[in-house]
Each structure stands twice: as structure tokens, then as C-alpha cells.
Structure 1
Amino acid sequence: MPKRSPPLILFALPALIIFLAFFCLPMAKLLAVSVSGEKGASVYWTVISSQRYLHSLMVTVLLSATVTLATLIIAGITGTFLERNAVPGKALLVAMLTFPLAFPGVVIGFMVIMLGGRNGLLAMVSDWLAGDRWTFAYGLAGLFVGYLYFSIPRVILTVMAAVAKLDASLEEAARSLGAGRWRVVRDVMLPALMPAMISSGAICFATSMGAFGTAFTLATQLDVLPLTIYNEFTNYANFGMAAALSVLLGMVTWALLALARWFSGDAVAATA
């Protein structure tokens, strides 16, 4: 008698359990808490109509988008160069470039302070050169540097893996037809790398949207959504608003990830 294979649902059961435990249940709890306050479901209207909360959301989105764009440019160029060229000490260099993945956000925040804080390296050098202490650590510029620092390793590894899989014969064919270096990059390499760039950029954006440790360490002149949620929850005990803002943050990030998935799927189909 032939053995019956186990139901397919058993193979998906671990992923289903994780999805329910770490996504569905927390989101359901957040939704319940958000409408349990005095305002009820109208708390969401307060979120989208309040200038304060909208400003916090827009600052967070713009900062995350800027970090993502800068990361894609820097990591795209660097990853392509490292993968295509025999660089002395390449393995050590790649390890150092990916080293920030080992640091939590609080440590990265302290690094930014050591670089651009009131007693940081830049302040000491500018005081010596110009007699004035220059700082950038406690505003959006400092947060941008911190987010960029931990975003580059997440993208550069993906870019290097994608470049390694490129079909060199396509580039040779383009050159044999008279295409210059930049046209080969524009018409051959970029379309082939686009799925990897979009997917890694989406992860970079999502990470920047929800990053808290670095922002909390630098929080002096910052108005980003994770800190707004923290203040509503901790300082004002406004649990309903904190939950509603958390749901909004999650929905915006999820929508971006879904959009990136859709575009990267189209890119894959176009380059297949």
C-alpha cells in the first residue's frame, strides 16, 4: 500500500504560526487599543487631520525616502565596483562595510554624536580651524547619517549578489553593437539590477520608517513618527493615539513594500 504524503498545509504551518503570532495578533491588539479611548474610531480622523501628526509622518517619509535614494546610489556604485574588480583586501573591505549590521541603533546614535556632536570630531576640528563648533548630530542631518550608516550594508550585499549573476554576454553584445560604457550601464545593467535595487530599497525604507534606537539617542530637534508614538505612549499616556499612529506607520510601510513587490515583479518579467 503506497504511503500517503503529508498534507501540504503542514509545510506552511510554521510560517502560518509566525504570521499569526507576530503580525495578526499584534495588529489586532493595536486596532482594539486605538478605538478603545474616548474618541473611539474617530482617533484616526484626528491623526490624518492634525497638523502635528501629519508633519511627523511627512518628515519620517521624506527622511526615509532620502536615505533610501542615497543608499541605493552609494551601495549600487560601490557594490558593482567591488564585484567587478579585483580589489586588494576585498574580503576585509566587504566585512568592514557590512560591520554596521552588528550594531544596535543606540550604538549608531552614539557614533553620530561622537562624529557630529557638541564634543565630537567635527566640533573639535571646526573649533581649531574656524573658532566655532559645528554640530549636526541632533537634527535631521544627524539622523540621516545614522540611518545611512546602517542602511548601506543591507543594500550592498544584495547588489553584489545581483551583479554576480549578470550575464556578461549581454554587455559584450551591446558593446559590439557600438554602445558606449554609460549606455551599457543604462540599457543593460540597470534594468537587470532593478528588481534587486527595488526590493533592497524597500527594505531600507521600511527600516528607516520604524527605526527608534538611533532617533531616541539623538532626540533633541527631531519630530519623526517613532518618537511621536513613544511620547504619546510614555509621556502623555495617550494609548489610543499611540496605537493609531502605530497602525498608520505599519500601513504606510506595508503599502510601500507591496508597491515595491509589484514593481520588482514587473521588472523581473521585463528582463526575463
Structure 2
Amino acid sequence: MTVPRAMKSTMFTLDGRRGVMLACMAPAAAFFFAFWLLPTARLITVPAEKGWSAYFEILTDSRYLESILNTVLLSLVVTIATLVIGAATGIYLARRSFRGRQTLLALLTLPLAFPGVIVGFFVILLGGRQGLVADFTHSLGLSRVTFAYGLTGLFLAYLYFSLPRAVASYTAAAEAIDVQLEEAARMLGASRWHITRDVWIPQLAPTTVACGAIVFATAMGAFGTAFTLASKVEVLPITIYNEFTNYANFATAAALSIALGLITGAVLFAARLLCGLSPAR
């Protein structure tokens, strides 16, 4: 059976495209294998060399448990505060037109360009031992008030670092909402609360879930800010750093890293499920 010339040309074209695609994917596949699969496999096998004792240790040792709880609770509080403030600011910027709006939006998102160490330095300048608040209370004849080196300082730093993402996300999402839905609800006699509940919240739910997951994951794994500020409290990235660098306790550091990855991965997976179950717009 002879194959038509046009079909042969199409087959050769498809084979050429597959070859080009495979050639383009080969570097990405090699990079993924070398810098993700191999380190992840090694990370899993390091605690396994000690059996279950490394995992049992991080679940029973009070210092490790406290570090995990501090990190999870801090990340949850930062996520909730970021979503509330970011939603209010983003919706306001989306629904108001005034002179300097774009400049204000640019200034609000400027912290995206700052690394975590710089954000921590800002908090120290405000609430550190030589910060503005300490100098002010000292000038009043009081003791120097500091809050930069504990959970309060970490909360403010994480909030400062996360808000620009939330503001940008909510502003874009609010601008995309169909105004006619709100106008129709208002014409039907809906109150402001009912409009918020039945129009705004469902429309912004995917943005809230996605943004909340990203903020939580970022707060869980933030190292630069924690390294700058966490001198009076221990969070998971600093605990992992200390176990790995200062004590050469590789099995425990790997077990803590896996615990951090599992917690963060579970939240991200749940967010994907919620976004997938949300009704189409």
C-alpha cells in the first residue's frame, strides 16, 4: 500500500516537531533530575539511615515541636492578616479612580523588590534596640521598648513582605469583576452585606485561596527575614539551619525539612483542590 505524498510530508513534519520538542525538553529534564529529583531523594534517604528515630525525635522533642508550632501559627496569622488587609486595599484601589493611583499602587508593591534580609533590617530600624520606637520611649524617660527580635517582629516583617502580592492580586481580581452583577443585586434591593456575601466573596474566592496558599508557603519557608530577626524565638527554617550548620545533625535537619515540605505541600494541594472545585465564572 502506497502512502500519499502529502501524508508522507505531514508525517515528516510531525517527526521533526517531536524532535525539536525533545531537544528543547532535554536540558529542562536534566536540570529537573539533577537539581530536584536527586537532592529530594537524598533528603528522604538521610533520615531513613537512622530508621524512624529521626522522625520520632522531631515529634517528641519539645524544642522541635515548639519550632514547628511557632512556624505554623505565625504563618496562619500572617496569612489571615495579609488577606484581610490586602483584600480591603486591593478592592478600594480597583473601585476608586484618583490622581496618583498608579503611583500609590507602585509604591505599595515596591517591597516585592526587597529581599528578606532588607525587610528584617527595616523592622530592626523601627523596633530594634537602636530603633525609632526604642529611641522615642527612651526620650520619655522610659526603658527602651523593642519588639523586632521575637514573634511580633517576624509577624510585621512577614506581613510587610506578603502584602504587596496580596494587594496586586486583589486589585487585578476586583478590576475583572463584572460590575453588572453588583448593579443587578442593588436593583433587586440587596443590602451592602448581601452584595458582599453573594457577589464579592464568590468572585474573589479563587484569588483568596491562591493568594493565601502562596503567602502561607512563603511564610513557612522564609529564611532571610527569620535569620535577621529570630534571636528570641525559633522558627523552622532557623532550626533546620542550626541543626545542619552548627550541629552537623543531618538526619534531624532532613527530617525537619521533610516536615516543612509536607505541611506546605498539603496546604498548596488543598488550595489546588479548592480552586478546582470553585464554580466557573
Q: What TM-score do you get using the length of structure 1 for normalisation? A: 0.92
In the other structure, the counterpart of 2:105 is: 94
Matching residue of 1:265: 276
For residues 107-147 of structure 1, what are the alpha-carbon distances to aligned partners after superposition, in whole Å with 9 as ceiling and x for unaligned?
Answer: 11111000001110111122223523211001000000000
Residue 212, structure 1, aligned to residue 223, structure 2: yes
What is aligned with 2:258?
247
Amino acid at match of 1:23: W
User: How well do the aligned residues superpose, as a CA RMSD in angstroms?
Assistant: 1.9
Matching residue's letter, 2:264: T
What is the correspondence of 1:110-189 to structure 2 with a 5 Å cutoff? 110-129=121-140, 131-189=142-200
What per-residue deviation string (whole Å, max 9, x for no partner) do you get for residues 141-198 of structure 1? 0000000001001111111111111011111111011111222112101111010111
Larger mean Cα displacement after TM superposition, 1-10 or 192-201: 1-10
Q: Structure 2 counterpart of 1:155, which letter? A: A
Q: Give the 3-state SS of the residue equivalent to 1:253 in structure 2.
A: helix
From 46, 58, 61, the equivalent of 1:33 is 46
1:104 partner amino acid: P
Deviation at 1:51, TM superposition (A): 2.2
Q: Could you say which structure has the larger radius of gyration?
A: 2
Which residue of 2 is the match for residue 44 of structure 1? 55
Instruction: Give TM-score scaled by structure 2 length.
Output: 0.89
Aligned to 2:64: 53
Kept in 1, the 8 Å contact 2:91–2:171? The answer is: yes
Mark the CA change 1:18 to 1:86 in structure 2 (over 3 Å): closer, same or farther. farther
Q: Is the 8 A contact 1:122 1:134 kept in 2?
A: yes
SS in 2 for 1:220: coil
Q: Higher mean Cα deviation, 120-129 or 69-78?
A: 120-129
Distance 2:85 2:25 in 1: 38
Q: Distance in 2 between matches of 1:109 and 1:211?
A: 11
256-265 or 128-137, which deviates more: 128-137
1:130–1:177 CA distance, 2 compared to 1 (3 A): farther
CA contact (8 A) 1:27 1:247 kept: no
1:18 deviates by 5.4
SS for the counterpart of 1:134 is coil
**Corresponding residue number in structure 2 for 1:24:** 37
Structure 2: segments with no counterpart, 5+ residues: 1-5
Q: Check whether the contact 2:47–2:54 (CA below 8 A) recurs between aligned residues.
A: yes
The residue type equivalent to 2:227 in the other structure is F
**Following TM superposition, by how much is the alpha carbon of 1:19 offset from its aligned partner in structure 2, in angstroms?**
4.4
In 1, Cα distance between equivalents of 2:275 and 2:32? 23
In structure 1, C-alpha distance between the alignment counterparts of 2:130 and 2:95, rounded to whole Å:
40
Unmatched tracts of structure 1, length 5 or more: none
Partner Cα separation in structure 1 for residue 188 and residue 132 of structure 2: 52
Distance of aligned partners of 1:135 and 1:48 in 2 relative to their CA distance in 1, 3 Å threshold: same
1:39-73, CA deviations, whole angstroms, 9 ceiling, x for partnerless residues?
33431122222222121111100000000000000
Instruction: Verify the 8 A CA contact 2:121 2:228 in the aligned structure 1.
Output: yes
Which secondary structure state, in structure 2, belongs to the residue aligned with residue 40 of structure 1? coil
Separation in 2, partners of 1:236, 1:252? 24
Question: SS of the residue aligned with 1:221?
Answer: coil
In 2: Cα distance, 1:225 partner to 1:196 partner: 27
